[in-house]
Amino acid sequence: MSISYRSREVPAVLIEPTYRRIRLKRGEEVIADSTQAIVIYENGGHPVYYLPKTDFHDGVLQPSEKSGASPVLGARRYWSLDGAGDSAWSYEHVPEGVPDLAGYATVAWSAVRWFEEDEEIFGHPRNVHWRVDAIDSKRRVEVVVDGTLVARTNRAVFLFETSLIPRYYFPVEDLIAGTLADSALHTYCPYKGRASYYHFDLNGNRHENIVWYYPEPLHESGRIKGLISFYNEKVDEIRVSAGDAE
């Protein structure tokens, strides 16, 4: 029985200050620079930075005819960047009980480059309430694919990420069956960095992109550098012992 619960039907919002310097760039041009940004989380979604409109460079935000709405924050007013597109928005009249947001605006993630201090960030801002813990473990981990034991290790790094199932990273030398084949797939995690993938070949069958690794993870996830992990959901079973491997 699961005891985890998060409502997707009841709207919720969390608004917090951030003490990070937030900058927005188009190419190499800075269009906004703020040390007074706020972070808004709507119904458990990814955080979104909103910057004071006064911290956008003069003329960057141009009024747009487009409008929209949020179930929590009310009517949404759109802005164009230098008259092109409708990629920025703000909330001018929020419902009762919500802090005044009229002085803040944000920009669609893909329309600009985002920086926290001097570090460019990708995917979405990191949630300060979301943890990623990489912990060494001597527990035995075994991976079963197509009924075959393909990996056994007692030197895995267990990765625990808030609200997600654990992942198990281990040295490629601990494969005991099957082979890895390079894949062109890459994904990006704001907490771990850029992932590369492998196909897994076993007894003439190819399982596409069921193994991944981080060649150069972000600093806080450095323990998993170069280690491989199998998708729990795409293999027959991942068995984890209750105590240390014998």
Residues facing 200 on adjacent strands: 180, 207
Per-residue model confidence (pLDDT) at position 1: 37
Q: Where are the domains of the chain?
A: 13-121, 132-244
Same fold, 13-121 and 132-244: yes
Q: Which CATH superfamily is domain 132-244 in?
A: Domain of unknown function (DUF427) (2.170.150.40)
Per-residue model confidence (pLDDT) at position 84: 74
Per-residue model confidence (pLDDT) at position 3: 52
Per-residue model confidence (pLDDT) at position 183: 98
Per-residue model confidence (pLDDT) at position 97: 79
Q: What is the CATH number of domain 13-121?
A: 2.170.150.40
Its pTM stands at 0.80
**For each successive 10 residues of the chain (246 residues), what is the average pLDDT?**
53 87 95 96 88 96 89 90 86 85 94 95 90 94 98 97 93 98 96 96 97 95 97 96 78
Closest CA relative to residue 142, chosen from 232, 223, 233: 232
Query: Using CB atoms within 10 A of its CB, is residue 202 exposed (0-12), middle (13-18) or buried (19+)?
Result: middle
b/e 51-79 (16+ beta carbons within 10 angstroms → b): bebebbeeebbeebeeeeebeebeeebbb
Contacts of residue 110, Cβ cutoff 8 Å, sequence gap at least 6 = none
Q: What is the dihedral of CA 175, 178, 184, 185, to 10 degrees?
A: -60
Per-residue model confidence (pLDDT) at position 10: 61
Per-residue model confidence (pLDDT) at position 8: 59
Question: Which bin fits 147, alpha (ψ -120 to 50), beta or left (φ > 0)?
Answer: left
